Amino acid sequence: MQAALSLAADGLKPVIVERSGAVGGKLRDWHRLFPTMTPAQEVLEEMAGRLEHAGVEVMLHTEVEGIGSKGVTLAEGKTLDAAAVIVASGFDIFDARLKEEYGYHVYDNVYTTVDIERMLNKGHVALHDGSAPRRIAFVHCVGSRDEKVNQRHCSKVCCITGVKQAMEMRELFPEAEIYNFYMDIRMFGPGYEELYQQAQQESGINFIRGRVSEASPTIDGRIQIKAEDTLVGRPMKMTVDMLVLIVGMKAAGGNERLAASCKGVTLAPSGFVAPKDMFAGSVETGAPGVFTAGAATAPKTIGESIAEGAMAAEKVVEYLKKAK
Amino acid sequence: MNAVNFGYMISVARGIDLDRNDLTSARELGDEMPEFRACIACGGCTATCTAGNLTSFNFRMVQTLVRRGEYAGAYREMNKCMLCGKCRLVCPRGINTRGVVMLIKRKLGDY
C-alpha cells in the first residue's frame, strides 16, 4: 500500500494486484499493535483512506501467476503490462498443527496467537466452554528456530507479540497466572524491551526459559505441559487451562512460483525471496525491474514493511529514469 | 523402630511441579517488591558475588527458585550473603538485589 502511495505521489500509475477481497493483508486480522497498543484498524483505515484519495487502482480477487518479460501474468492467462513490479506478497503463518506435540486442533483449549488476535477483535476471549482461564501458558518459537519443521529462521516479531498478548490477557483476566516459555527473548525494536520489563514487573507475567516439549490432556480436560526450567536446571511441569502457541512467519507459498516464472529472482534457503544484497540493495532482486517490500524477503514488522514500501517505490523511480 | 532396609531407595522426583507448589508467598514477595519479578537471569549478580566466590551461594538461582515456589533452603542460602551490595551495582535491570535478600530472609524464614 505504501509503495503504491509513494509511486502515485511521484506521478506514476501504480496498480495493486490483490489476491483476497481487500487490501491490508494480515493486518486486517490483528487487534492492537505492539509496542504502543495502537488499534490495527486505525493504521489500516488511514492507509486505505490515503489509497482511495490518491485514486490508486486496486484489482481485488486477482491471483498472480508469475512475472514475465512483458509484465505480470494473472490467473486467467491475462497479462498486466508493467514497467516495474514490486513484490509485496508478505508471508504465510506457520501451521501449528505440524507441531503435533502441542496438540493444536487436537485439544480444545490450544490456540495460536492469530486465534487470540481474532478473539480479541470479536471482544470475547474465553475457553472452549465459554469460561475464563485461570492459568494461561504461551509457547514462544512455534514454527521458528526449529529444524524439525524446516523453519530455521527467527520470525523476530513473535517475542514481542507474546509479551503483548500476555499483557492483554492480564487486562482481561486480572486473577489468572500467566507463563511465557521462551528459548531466548529478542526485543529488537524501540520500546520492546521496556514493554517486556513492564510485562514482568507490572503485569506479573512469569517468563520461564525452556522450550515446552509436549502438551497432554488431563482427565479434567485441562492441558499438562512439560519443559525444563533451564535457569535452574530442573524439569518442570504444570497444568494450564489455555495454551497459546506463538506461531512464526513462514515464507509465502507463492514465492517458489514467482522464482520459477521470473529469471533472476532467487530464494533464500528459508524460502523467502533473496534480496540483491542485504544492505544497499535490500529491496531489489536479481531481476531488473523487480523489487520487493515487506515480509516477502524476511519476517518484518508493520513499520518496517511500510518503510520498505516507500524505499521500493524510490528504487522503481530510479530504475525507470535509467531505463528511459 | 528403624525402617526396614531393602537395599534400595526410591528417588524423589526433582522436577518443579507448579500444580503442587504453593505460589502464594512468591506472589506476595512480587507484590511487595515488583522489581523482584524483573530479573532477566543475566547472572551478573552471581558473577560478582563475594559470597558466591567462596561458597556455593548462587543468588540468581535461589531467587529464581523462590519465584517458582521452591522455597526450601532459600532462607539458609540467603544467610550466606554478606550484604556487600556489589550485585546491586551490576544489575542491568536496576533491581535492589540486597533488598531482595532481606525480603526473602524476612518472608521465608520458615522454610
Q: What is the pTM of this model?
A: 0.95
Residue (of A191, A132, A130) closest to A164 by Cα position: A191
Which residue in B15, B34, B65 is closest to A235 by CB distance?
A: B15
Q: What are phi and psi of A267, to 5 degrees?
A: -110, 145
Rounded to whole angstroms, the Cα distance separating A132 from A242 reads 9
Query: What integer best gives the mean pLDDT of chain B?
Result: 94
Q: Which residues contact A112 (CB under 8 A, 6 or more apart)?
A: A93, A96, A104, A142, A244, A245, A246, A247
CB contact under 8 A, B16 and A206: no
CB B54 within 8 A of CB B91: no
Phi/psi region, residue A55 (left: phi>0; alpha: psi -120 to 50; beta: rest), is left
The yes-or-no verdict on residue A41 having pLDDT over 90 is yes
Domain residue ranges of chain A, discontinuous segments joined by +? 2-90+252-323, 96-249
| Structure confidence at residue A204 as a pLDDT band (50, 70, 90) | very high
The yes-or-no verdict on residue B6 having pLDDT over 90 is no
- Please give the single-letter amino acid code of residue A86: I
Residues B72-102 have pLDDT tens digits of 999 999 999 999 999 999 999 999 999 999 9
Task: Name the CATH code of domain A2-90+252-323 (choices 3.40.30.10, 2.30.31.20, 3.40.50.150, 3.50.50.60).
Answer: 3.50.50.60
- The reply to whether A2-90+252-323 and A96-249 are identical in fold is yes
Residue B1 pLDDT: 53
| Higher-confidence position of A7 and A71 | A7
Into which CATH architecture does domain A96-249 fall?
3-Layer(bba) Sandwich (3.50)
Rounded to whole angstroms, the Cα distance separating A91 from A82 reads 23
Domain residue ranges of chain B, discontinuous segments joined by +? 24-107
Residues A272-303 have pLDDT tens digits of 999 999 999 999 999 999 999 999 999 999 99
Rounded to whole angstroms, the Cα distance separating A32 from A244 reads 17
Q: Which residues contact A259 (CB under 8 A, 6 or more apart)?
A: A265, A266, A267, A273
In DSSP terms, A251 is beta-bridged to: A91
Query: What integer best gives the mean pLDDT of chain A?
Result: 97
Which residue in A185, A201, A229 is closest to B16 by CB distance?
A: A229
Q: What are the distances in angstroms from CA A106 to CA A48, A97, B107? A: 38, 9, 43
A229 vs B contacts (CB less than 8 Å): 16, 64, 68
Which residue in A202, A231, A239 is closest to B41 by CB distance?
A: A231
A185 vs B contacts (CB less than 8 Å): 40
| Structure confidence at residue B111 as a pLDDT band (50, 70, 90) | confident
The yes-or-no verdict on residue B2 having pLDDT over 90 is no
Residue among A167, A203, A234 with most chain B CBs within 10 A, to mutate? A234
Asked if this assembly's ipTM is beyond 0.95, the reply is no
B70 vs A contacts (CB less than 8 Å): 232
CB contact under 8 A, B16 and A177: no
Q: What are the distances in angstroms from CA A71 to CA A43, A89, A290, A321, B31? A: 31, 16, 10, 18, 62
Rounded to whole angstroms, the Cα distance separating A287 from A291 reads 8
Residue among B40, B56, B64 with most chain A CBs within 10 A, to mutate? B40
Residues B42-53 have pLDDT tens digits of 999 999 999 999
Q: B12 by DSSP, 3-state: which?
A: coil
CB atoms closer than 10 angstroms to residue A288? 14
Which residue in A185, A200, A234 is closest to B14 by CB distance?
A: A234
Residues A228-276 have pLDDT tens digits of 999 999 999 999 999 999 999 999 999 999 999 999 999 999 999 999 9
Share of chain B above pLDDT 90, in %: 86
CB contact under 8 A, A234 and B16: yes
CB A268 within 8 A of CB A256: no
B30 vs A contacts (CB less than 8 Å): 204
Residue A285 pLDDT: 97
A237 vs B contacts (CB less than 8 Å): 15-19
